[in-house]
């Protein structure tokens, strides 16, 4: 990759060192704790599935049974019940849904429990490995057939079967990535609904069956188009690890999976979120899933010019947390957005500076670039121009994942024809300037270069401040996105558990970074 900004490598290295300092105390906290969502995810990865007659998932029933006994991990009790009864996970799940209590069984020999638990874990991890191999084989088979950057479209009907129709239509129109938007506020549910769903507001419930249905449909489109169609959903909210587990089992390819988004924008407790994000990212790393982070959201509440440095700082912090969880740089779809006020003089140059800077600092990351939303007014003609400029900036700076800008943004959820027009816009602009990025350089004393150097300097100053007082303290003070979140408040705090000396989770052990 051609470096055009002349950013000092010493400053970039310093920022990464600061990210280590900032995240280390948080990682120490994470490693000493588990959560109810982590335990539910682990249960799902040894065979727990299904729901009772009221729709309560079996994984939630088990956790409710084990309140006060989770310091050692939930799997010990589930595997123990399998050993004591000689039943399969499928049969045991039915019994639990019908009221069977795991605590009725005295604990068997720990070595026997660990042997059985490891056996079950290996079965499900083998399925995830098989999914990863299948994806890699298909990407190799269809190599060169996807757009660069990948063109990312959303579907959000509320009905998974209608989503399938819209997703397949988008794939035929040229989309490389389909994101199934979750129904409004699902991130605040502390359980995962069971089965296929046909009702949702602003999106469709994320369930394992819905994942399976969409994956099957997009695989058919992939074969017909001879282009791999990536499937995306949201490993975020109060069920972050569980969604990651379900995505790994059903071969999703990307997951929105930020380290701080839920704290800032959904008021989920920071302790809970930090613990959940690590285990969810460990699963994504093992499954070969690309994560998408949420820095674009900062610019919905903060000014994109004044607070650009907080976006870059968050990218450094997200990168550090991702590395700690075992994710490779090629799996880090670090986020940012085209959200500068269009009335600012040279705003486009500032935007190019930010995008090029991210590209040069994170050269292996498939950067996820978000379109204009904050300053879309409902004027569709101006919107087309704004999206064309966004498409231009994305291709010029070699972004990796390009979320389509919609001319009807700020009016309604996109129709299929809106998506088609957005794809036509992106393909036209990007095809006509395919090699422009390698043809041009930037003036050393020009607006773009000066802007990038300034933002990097401000980022280091900001990260030094965060390192001096701590990440959690900084979030309490509103350092990110101008939003203040107390550490001892927020949703889900009651699901935080300090690990006991006998804590056992064979999934965590098997997928941990060696």
| Residue-wise pLDDT tens digits, 26-83 | 999 999 999 999 999 999 999 999 999 999 999 999 999 999 999 999 999 999 999 9
The DSSP H or E segment spanning 287 is helix 270-287
- Average pLDDT taken over every residue of the chain: 96
- On whether residue 141 sits in a domain, the answer given is no
The DSSP H or E segment spanning 10 is helix 9-31
In sign, the C-alpha dihedral spanning 45, 33, 316, 257 is positive
Tell me the mean pLDDT in the region 309-331: 97
DSSP string, 247-262: HHHTT--EEE--SSHH
Q: How many domains are there within the chain?
A: 1
pLDDT of residue 440: 95
Tell me the mean pLDDT in the region 370-391: 95
| Three-state secondary structure call for residue 268 | strand
Q: Among residues 191, 261, 286, 298, which one is catalytic?
A: 261
From 231, 186, 177, 179, select the one nearest 205 (Cα to Cα): 186
- Cis amide prior to 13 (ω within 30 degrees): no
- On whether residue 289 sits in a domain, the answer given is yes
433 Cβ contact partners less than 8 Å away, ≥ 6 residues apart: 392, 395, 396
Half-sphere exposure for 53 (CA within 13 Å, toward CB): 3
Contact 404, 153 (CB under 8 A): yes
Contact 235, 287 (CB under 8 A): no
Confidence grade of residue 369 (pLDDT, cut at 50, 70, 90) = very high
Q: How far is CA 397 from CA 152, 388, 404, 438, in A?
A: 17, 14, 16, 9
From 426, 407, 348, select the one nearest 150 (Cα to Cα): 426
Q: Is 368 labeled as catalytic in the residue annotation?
A: yes
- On whether residue 194 sits in a domain, the answer given is yes
The model's pLDDT over 387-416, given as tens digits with 9 standing for 90+, comes to 999 999 999 999 999 999 999 998 888 888
Q: In what order do the strands lie in the sheet with 401-403?
A: 332-333, 290-292, 254-256, 230-234, 177-180, 150-155, 401-403, 368-370, 335-337
Cα-Cα-Cα-Cα torsion 96, 100, 106, 107, nearest 10 degrees, comes to 0
Ramachandran category for residue 375: left, alpha or beta (phi over 0 → left; psi -120 to 50 → alpha): alpha
- Is residue 315 packed enough to be buried (19+ CB in 10 Å), middle (13-18) or exposed (0-12)? buried
Residue 263 has pLDDT above 70, yes or no: yes
- On whether residue 17 sits in a domain, the answer given is no
The 3 state secondary structure assigned to 461-476 is HHHHHHHHHCHHHHHH
Confidence grade of residue 308 (pLDDT, cut at 50, 70, 90) = very high
Contact 323, 301 (CB under 8 A): no
Helix-strand-coil split of the chain, %, nearest 5: 55, 10, 35
Q: Among residues 116, 278, 307, 368, which one is catalytic?
A: 368
Confidence grade of residue 219 (pLDDT, cut at 50, 70, 90) = very high
pLDDT of residue 208: 98
pLDDT of residue 87: 95
pLDDT of residue 297: 85
Residue 439 has pLDDT above 90, yes or no: yes
Domain membership of residue 223 as a residue range: 148-448
**In the chain, how many H helices and how many E strands?**
20, 11
CATH of the domain at 263: 3.20.20.440
Q: Which two tokens stand for residue 120?
A: 């079950």
Any idea which residue has 């006060």 for tokens?
68
- On whether residue 483 sits in a domain, the answer given is no
Residue 238 has pLDDT above 70, yes or no: yes
Q: Among residues 253, 258, 276, 296, which one is catalytic?
A: 296
- On whether residue 410 sits in a domain, the answer given is yes
Q: Measured between alpha carbons, how far is 243 from 108 in angstroms, rounded to an integer?
A: 31
Contact 257, 179 (CB under 8 A): no
Q: Is 78 labeled as catalytic in the residue annotation?
A: no
């Amino acid at each position: 990759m051609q470096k055009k900004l002349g950013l000092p490598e010493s400053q970039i290295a310093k920022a990464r060192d600061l990210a280590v300092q900032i995240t280390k105390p948080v990682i120490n906290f994470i490693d000493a704790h588990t959560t109810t969502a982590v335990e539910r995810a682990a249960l799902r990865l040894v065979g727990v599935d299904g729901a009772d007659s009221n729709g309560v998932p079996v994984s939630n029933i088990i956790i409710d049974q084990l309140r006060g006994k989770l310091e050692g991990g939930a799997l010990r009790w589930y595997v123990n019940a399998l050993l004591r009864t000689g039943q399969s996970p499928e049969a045991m799940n039915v019994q639990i849904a019908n009221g069977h209590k795991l605590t009725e069984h005295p604990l068997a020999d720990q070595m026997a429990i660990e042997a059985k638990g490891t056996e079950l874990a290996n079965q499900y991890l083998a399925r995830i490995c098989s999914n990863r191999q299948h994806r890699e084989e298909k990407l190799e088979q269809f190599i060169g057939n996807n757009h660069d950057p990948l063109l990312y479209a959303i579907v959000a009907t509320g009905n998974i079967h209608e989503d399938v129709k819209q997703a397949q239509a988008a794939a035929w129109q040229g989309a490389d990535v389909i994101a199934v938007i979750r129904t409004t506020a699902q991130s605040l549910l502390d359980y995962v609904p069971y089965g296929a769903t046909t009702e949702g507001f602003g999106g469709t419930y994320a369930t394992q069956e819905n994942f399976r249905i969409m994956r099957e449909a997009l695989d058919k489109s992939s074969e017909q188009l001879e282009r791999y169609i990536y499937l995306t959903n949201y490993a975020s909210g109060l069920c972050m690890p569980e969604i990651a587990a379900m995505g790994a089992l059903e071969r999703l390819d990307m997951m929105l999976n930020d380290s701080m988004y839920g704290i800032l924008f959904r008021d989920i407790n920071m302790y809970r979120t930090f613990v959940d994000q690590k285990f969810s990212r460990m699963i994504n790393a093992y499954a070969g899933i690309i994560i998408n982070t949420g820095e674009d959201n900062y610019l919905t509440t903060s000014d994109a010019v004044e607070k650009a440095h907080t976006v870059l700082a968050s990218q450094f912090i997200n990168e550090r947390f991702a590395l700690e969880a075992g994710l490779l740089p090629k799996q880090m779809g670090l986020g940012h957005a085209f959200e500068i006020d269009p009335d600012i003089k040279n705003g486009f140059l500032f935007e190019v500076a930010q995008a090029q800077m991210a590209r040069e600092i994170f050269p292996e990351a498939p950067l996820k670039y978000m379109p204009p939303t904050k300053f879309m007014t409902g004027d569709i003609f101006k919107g087309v121009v704004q999206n064309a400029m966004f498409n231009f900036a994305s291709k010029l700076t070699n972004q990796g994942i390009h979320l389509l800008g919609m001319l009807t943004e700020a009016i309604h959820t996109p129709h299929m024809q809106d998506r088609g027009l957005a794809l036509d816009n992106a393909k036209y602009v990007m095809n006509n300037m395919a090699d422009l990025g390698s043809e041009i350089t930037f003036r050393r004393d020009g607006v773009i270069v000066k802007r990038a150097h300034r933002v990097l300097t401000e980022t280091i100053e900001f990260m030094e401040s965060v390192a001096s007082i701590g990440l959690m303290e900084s979030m309490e003070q509103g350092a990110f996105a101008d939003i203040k979140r107390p550490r001892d408040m927020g949703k889900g705090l009651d699901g935080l558990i300090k690990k006991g000396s006998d804590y056992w989770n064979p999934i965590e052990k098997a997928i941990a970074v060696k």
